[in-house]
Structure 1
Amino acid sequence: MTDGLIVGAGPVGLTLAAELARYGIGVRLIDRAPHATETSKALVVWSRTLELMDRMGCTGAFLAAGLRARGASIRSGETLLGSPRFEGIASAYDFALMIPQRDTERLLAAHLRSFGVAVERQVELVGFDPREDGVEARLRHADGREERVRTPWLIGCDGAHSAVRHGLGLAFAGAAQGDDWLLADMRLDGPGAPPPDEIATYLHRDGPFVVFPIPGGRARIVATLGKTDATHPRPDPTLADVQALIDRRAGGGFRASDPVWLTQFRINERKVAEYRHGRVFLAGDAAHIHSPAGGQGMNTGMQDAVNLAWKLAMVERGEAAPTLLDSYSPERSAVGDLVLRNAGRLTDMATLSHPAAQAARNLALRFLLGLHAVRDRMATTMSEIAIAYAGSPLSAGPGSGARWKPDDDAGPPPGAGDAPRFVLYAADPERGAALAARYPGLLEPAPRVPPDASRLFIVRPDGYLGLSAGGAAWDEAERYLRALATAA
């Protein structure tokens, strides 16, 4: 019997498997595809994801492979409407790390192998039977052999067409946007080409045209193509089509060449109502899909995985009550709603079609992006460092649920097999150590010095503030931990 069966070996499934393996949980990760992603797909790893990778122990490999985008520009014709920079992000990672998804998967798979776990490819989930004490799953291998697996937990990280979600019979509520979009990965050369460390957006009356830098001297272009009659599908885009868009929407001045990926897509915005159903969970695109505006879909999914991993590990190891898992869906579903709203608004704003609405938008953007506070807020939202769990059942006290600043949480990540632990910050080390001794499965044994000596804090294993209380509120800390513990 495996401790956990994960379906889908994209970035979300790989993140979840690596975290569970790091915590000493036996896990199988299956994928029906014969090989990993070979295209660039999701391109951006944002600041909060990189911070969480610090805890995972794999940030360095990503920084070495990626390209650091330091800011963005938004233009309309020859007018620069604004140029938000990322240096103001309150993180050690004050940039957007541009890295193709194929490399993200390659690096995460290598990280997973360091724990002795490999992806099982050409293995498909063909059905499952959820029960009170576990899940019985039916797997089909490449040679047609079927296997029955008993597992305490089944997690669907298997994308927008999730077999796990379909097996649960869940509605994937939402809609598809009507426009066709072009995606092209190629080289851009010429004096008018955007800087290689900038995400450039051109707002045109025909629709937006966006250029993302990619490592290796390449760039991605994303642009609307308009609506198409479903009975007459649009032909695949060509290099000439891309150049025509450059000349019309970005003012020319640079040439496209050497395409490695030319395709088109439509934007879907959909989400399930609940991410957990008994012993079955959903994460990433299996639970929510977004507009690519803001580049937050993959990041949100990887953060789903980090959130779920430490909770599953603590419960499976008997260090926390099973009710800890009740917090996963409300926390991450609220984040999914937020990301959907933000991405949808960005897409709606960029695709306005009425000339008067476009003119008003451009005037508003030029004014707002001239304000330092607005530029900072935009960068902070995109980086996902502002995500918080204020309404979570695990949040208690003023400011709880917020991201704990990494500067206040120094120290190496746990090694393989180490358990996730909450961290106590308290001014009285003796009393703090005594509290930790009463809850050895929950708390690190040694309390840390709080940034405010008049306060007591308990920080979650994923770096969010669980309890915020007065410095002498030991009874409150005890109640908080007792509610999490397996036994009172």
Structure 2
Amino acid sequence: MADVLIVGAGPVGLTLACELARYGVGVRLIDRAREATQTSKALVVWSRTLELMDRMGCTAAFLAAGLRARGATLRGGGRVLGGPDFSDIASPYAFGLMIPQRDTERLLAEHLREFGAAVEREVELTGFAQTPDGVEARLSHGDGREERVAAPFLVGCDGAHSAVRHGLGLPFRGTAQGDDWLLADIRLDGAGAPPDDEIAVYFHRDGPFVIFPIPGGRARVVATVGRADGRPKPDPTLSEVQALVAARAGPGIRVSDPVWLSRFRIHERKVSEYRRDRVFLAGDAAHIHSPAGGQGMNTGMQDAVNLAWKLALVLRGAAAPGLLDSYSPERNAVGEMVLRNAGRLTVMATLANPLAQAVRNRALHLLLGLHAVRRRMAATMSEIEIAYPASPLSVGPGAGRRWRPEDAAGPPPGAGADPRFVLYAADPERGTALAARFPGLVQPAPRNNPEPGRLHLVRPDGYVGLAAGAADWDAAERYLKECGTV
């Protein structure tokens, strides 16, 4: 019997399965589709996700397959307004890694196989019920076979139309944005094409137009094409895309070699809770939002990383079941922030009133002339500023913040198959003694604290759990007792 049944083998489900398998947890990862996605879909992996991939052990493969975007340039009213330089991101990965979702899924599936696990395809969740000790699920296989399985936990990573969310009866509240959008994965040529390491944003009077670089000399074009009226429309043609490019970015760009032409609408929806007892939601099953900023897939993958170490510690008996209570409030707050930020960007980009457009362009030109604004914009996009200050796991001034990777001496906290807290303190003897009293929760060797006069317990996902004074060992012991089972 698997310890965790995961429904949905997109990037989020694959990330969760990889992390749980790395921690020695038995997983089943099922997906009703016959094969993995063959389109590019989500395109960018941001800095914080790459930092977490270091802990997973798969960053190198992604860096080899992706293209590093060095910044974004916003244009409007016939001039450059400015934009963030990603080299300002305070991370070892000061760029946006452009990589098609099909490659993200392929690389994660390969990583999962290293732990002896794999995706079970053409297997659909048809129902489930919770019991005091777990979840009983009904599965339907592609060959017609029906199966009943039991697992201590069930996680829905099955997208916007999640069967798990529907089974829980959780409302998916939100709205649809009012425009129709065009998407084209194509090749761009000509003197007017932006550099292949730049995200190019054009604020045109008829609507926004964005070019994202893709590895292999390709690009994605996204633009509004009028107000949505609810009627189905055929996929765009290459000539339609060429006309749109010429109108909004200038005549010096030629388009060719389309591999994906589509239309879509932006939906912004979210659940208010990510957990019901032994059933959890992650990724698009819990939140969908505008693609502005490229946060969706990254937020979902970080949902998975957050949940994985908590499930692992509870399943192995090192942590109390109450540790799982922190997942929903932590990720719910992040989901709210990402949805709000993406929505604001979309509203700003889709202003239709000419006077409002002129005011927007003037304001952006002034603001983006300030380095502090550009730096903050880059940090927000990269997700390195995500924190959990209001979490029940965050105790003390500064708790909940990201522990900078460069402050981690030796292997990153959480590396290997043992998710434990890392103690940063000035007294190695007392630190070693404390760790010995909580062997399932704390790595045995404390590390020198880069912040003099402070004591920190850093979670397996690289966020500060406890922040205390250097001599406040009682606070550290209380914290670990509340997390643990002793």
- Does the CA-based 8 Å contact 2:394-2:400 persist in structure 1? yes
Q: Secondary structure at the match of 1:356?
A: helix
- Does the CA-based 8 Å contact 1:24-1:417 persist in structure 2? no
The runs of at least 4 aligned residues of structure 1 exceeding 2 Å deviation read: 232-235, 410-418
Instruction: Give the structure 2 partner of residue 274 of structure 1.
Output: 273
Q: Is the counterpart of residue 328 in structure 1 residue 345 in structure 2?
A: no
Q: CA deviation at 1:228?
A: 3.5
Per mean C-alpha deviation after superposition, the further-off stretch among 234-243 and 415-424 is 415-424
Q: Distance in 2 between matches of 1:162 and 1:411?
A: 40
- Look up the equivalent residue of 1:46 and give its one-letter code: W
Instruction: Give the structure 2 partner of residue 452 of structure 1.
Output: 451
Instruction: Give the structure 1 partner of residue 104 of structure 2.
Output: 104
Per mean C-alpha deviation after superposition, the further-off stretch among 242-251 and 232-241 is 232-241
Instruction: Give the structure 1 partner of residue 128 of structure 2.
Output: 128
Q: Secondary structure at the match of 2:324?
A: helix
- Look up the equivalent residue of 2:205 and give its one-letter code: R
- Does the CA-based 8 Å contact 1:190-1:253 persist in structure 2? yes
Q: Distance in 1 between matches of 2:431 and 2:172?
A: 46
Per mean C-alpha deviation after superposition, the further-off stretch among 292-301 and 405-414 is 405-414
Q: Secondary structure at the match of 1:175?
A: strand
Q: Deviation per CA, 1:206-265, whole angstroms, max 9, x where unpaired?
A: 1000000000000000000111322x4322201011111111111221100000000000
Q: Secondary structure at the match of 1:87?
A: helix
Distance 1:177 1:194, change over 3 A: same
- Does the CA-based 8 Å contact 2:318-2:441 persist in structure 1? yes
Q: Distance in 2 between matches of 1:190 and 1:457?
A: 54
Q: Secondary structure at the match of 2:396?
A: coil
Per mean C-alpha deviation after superposition, the further-off stretch among 300-309 and 447-456 is 447-456
Q: Distance in 2 between matches of 1:336 and 1:260?
A: 32
Q: Distance in 2 between matches of 1:410 and 1:184?
A: 45
- Look up the equivalent residue of 2:120 and give its one-letter code: E
**1:235-250 to 2 correspondences below 5 Å:** 235-250=234-249
Q: Distance in 2 between matches of 1:416 and 1:256?
A: 45
List runs of 5+ in structure 1 lacking aligned partners.
none
Q: Distance in 2 between matches of 1:151 and 1:221?
A: 43
Instruction: Give the structure 1 partner of residue 353 of structure 2.
Output: 354
Instruction: Give the structure 1 partner of residue 35 of structure 2.
Output: 35
Paired residues in the alignment total 486
Q: Distance in 2 between matches of 1:422 and 1:342?
A: 31
Q: Distance in 1 between matches of 2:483 and 2:315?
A: 14
Instruction: Give the structure 2 partner of residue 67 of structure 1.
Output: 67
**1:82-481 to 2 correspondences below 5 Å:** 82-230=82-230, 232-412=231-411, 418-481=417-480
Q: Deviation per CA, 1:357-379, whole angstroms, max 9, x where unpaired?
A: 10100000000000000000000
- Does the CA-based 8 Å contact 2:414-2:420 persist in structure 1? no
Instruction: Give the structure 2 partner of residue 49 of structure 1.
Output: 49
Q: Deviation per CA, 1:371-426, whole angstroms, max 9, x where unpaired?
A: 00000000000000000000000001111100000011143368997220000011
Q: Secondary structure at the match of 1:224?
A: strand
- Does the CA-based 8 Å contact 2:420-2:440 persist in structure 1? yes
Q: CA deviation at 1:76?
A: 1.1
Q: Distance in 2 between matches of 1:24 and 1:56?
A: 13
- Does the CA-based 8 Å contact 2:399-2:466 persist in structure 1? yes
Q: Distance in 1 between matches of 2:475 and 2:4?
A: 34
- Look up the equivalent residue of 2:457 and give its one-letter code: I
TM-score (norm 2): 0.99
Identity of aligned residues (%): 76
- Does the CA-based 8 Å contact 1:63-1:97 persist in structure 2? yes
CA RMSD for the aligned pairs? Answer: 1.1
- Look up the equivalent residue of 1:405 and give its one-letter code: R
- Look up the equivalent residue of 2:445 and give its one-letter code: A
Q: Secondary structure at the match of 1:24?
A: coil
Distance 1:410 1:185, change over 3 A: farther
Q: CA deviation at 1:2?
A: 1.3
- Does the CA-based 8 Å contact 2:39-2:102 persist in structure 1? yes
- Does the CA-based 8 Å contact 1:422-1:443 persist in structure 2? yes
TM-score (norm 1): 0.98
